[in-house]
Structure 1
Amino acid sequence: MAMGVQTERISGSPPPGEREISVWTLPTDIMAAADGPRLSAVLDEGERARANAFRLEDDRLSYCLAHGLLRRALSTLSPGIPPSAWRFERGPHGKPHIAGPIETDLAFSLSHTRGLVAIALARGLALGVDVEADSRDVNGVEIATRFFSRDEANALRALPAETCPRAFLALWTLKEAIVKASGRGLTQDLSSFTVELDRPPRIASHDASLADASRWRLWHARTGRHHLALAALDADPEHWTIVHRRLAGWDSPVH
């Protein structure tokens, strides 16, 4: 039976004919090991090989669910193209993009972690999305001191112990989303730019390796026990709106 979907308009109020950044999230606990073959059926040979490389069944299912959801989302926006037909290539720094079967300006980003998968889609934008579980046992200050900017590490160090872990994960997901959107991925130095957790979050400073801060639009939210972050270039709120679709099940109808 089809399960429901909650749709939330996050920000922006463009006029009719609006341009939309669509963020889809889906919990992984709805799936069981028996669902693996059904999910992998829409994947290509390379995706199935990467899925089978995961040692743990939960990780394998999360991968299949994320990549299957991406294919379903792309087909929802491109009626007539079956989910299994999409083909992908990777750029010089590993960022995936659509290679067929049609020419399209659709851009996407995907992320998956234990418990949740996320997809972001829009037309003609550079996008990055990231999710992390809130329950991750990490020393945020230590990691930030090694890899983040000095200002970010100092800001975390100044926080009370009870709020620091969540602030760290908010920063982590935002920075991961930014480097995905930049196209440079792991080659982008995480200490080369500073994110401030304002409402909305923003890039406070950066070096020449990153696009100007005024061009970035950032969004962060908690969804259940997870942190969800989005980064997009040139998506000003007057012309672009962010819509978060929380799917309750694989078969949830989406419009």
Structure 2
Amino acid sequence: MSPIPTLSPSPEVTLYFCPLATEAIGPDEAELIRSWLPEDELTKVSRYVQADARDKALVVRGYLRGILSLTRSGDVTLSPSEWQFEYGEKGKPDLITEQALLSGLKFNISHSGDWLVVAVYQGQLGLSGGERASIELGVDIERNRDSTNIYPILNHYFTQSETDELLSLPESSQRQRFFDLWALKESYIKAKGLGLALSLKSFYFDFARATKQKIEVSKLNNPAVECVLFDGIELYLVREEGDKCAADTWCLFLGRLSEEYRFAVSASHIGTFNLKAYQLTLTEMLSRLK
């Protein structure tokens, strides 16, 4: 079965987990990806001083363009070099309006340590008059770092309710909850496109109704693996001291790719959608683009 899905009749968000081992990229692969990039992106890549960081920046951009080209969406078939991006006030990338409306695609990306995750929404972006729908999508992947002293951070970035709930957990579970919350918060602020201009204390997550499920991560040439996935997490917006309201338009998922890595997806104005996941190496992606 192909790891690249066709357009579903219902809204769909697909997660592509891509290993970032830069030793896998040879001169030919690097030159091919460079040929896809416009001058401004090549300039951004060249600004990294260390060779490994330059290679990783190149691979990330290659994955994004390649995945967009492999994601079947109606009659739209663009090569990796043809995708054009625009950037929000805080730097959030998006497809230019014409390509977004024609393809029905919206994306967000995140990388940490050895993994990149690309989230791609497939659905209807057009509204009456050719306007663009206000769909918000954010994804984050986080590595559990044992060296991080989590407790001084709680008062700065977590609401009191989040802090109280975390501290009520067994000590062995507190670090896991910290990085779970951090991934959720990052995915939400990325979806909003405001960066840290949006206070991390202006919203919080409630796990009271969260349910534990499984998500299958499909692979091209190997058996699929199952990962833990939490659904039913609720988002609340904090307006004033003690005043909160439920953000009912948001759909949230939290998953564990492994013991070390977790990921989160925040999506708004999509409604109920299917969530799929695939693992795709650079070699596999490039071979499918030939």
Name the TM tier (shorter chain): 0.7 to 0.9
Matches within 5 A, 1:203-242: 203-208=234-239, 213-224=247-258, 225-237=260-272, 240-242=273-275
Q: Count residues with an aligned counterpart.
A: 242
Q: Pick from 139, 145, 153: which aligns with 1:135?
A: 145
Q: Distance in 2 between matches of 1:38 and 1:228?
A: 30
Deviations 1:192-227 (A, max 9, x none): 111124332523421359995111111111113311
Q: Distance in 1 between matches of 2:118 and 2:9?
A: 22
Deviations 1:6-45 (A, max 9, x none): 799xxxxxxx722211111111126446354443332222
Deviation at 1:129, TM superposition (A): 0.5
Please state whether the residue corresponding to 1:84 is helix, strand or coil. helix
| TM-score, structure 1 as length reference | 0.82
Residue identity matched to 2:90: H
Which residue pairs with 1:97 in the alignment?
A: 94
Residue identity matched to 1:223: L
Which residue pairs with 2:187 in the alignment?
A: 177
Which residue pairs with 1:45 in the alignment?
A: 39
Which residue pairs with 2:59 in the alignment?
A: 65
Assess if the C-alpha contact under 8 Å between 1:149 and 1:193 holds in 2.
yes
Change (3 A) 1:159 1:222: same
Which residue pairs with 1:22 in the alignment?
A: 14
Change (3 A) 1:212 1:89: farther
Residue identity matched to 2:188: I
Deviations 1:55-74 (A, max 9, x none): 34443333222221111122
Which residue pairs with 1:80 in the alignment?
A: 77
Gaps of 5+ in 2: 126-134, 212-230
Assess if the C-alpha contact under 8 Å between 2:14 and 2:277 holds in 1.
yes
Change (3 A) 1:64 1:165: farther
**Structure of higher CA gyration radius:** 2
Matched, 1:186 2:180: no
Deviation at 1:185, TM superposition (A): 2.2
Q: Distance in 2 between matches of 1:45 and 1:25?
A: 27
Matches within 5 A, 1:113-152: 113-122=112-121, 123=123, 124=125, 125-135=135-145, 137-152=147-162
Q: Distance in 1 between matches of 2:235 and 2:99?
A: 39
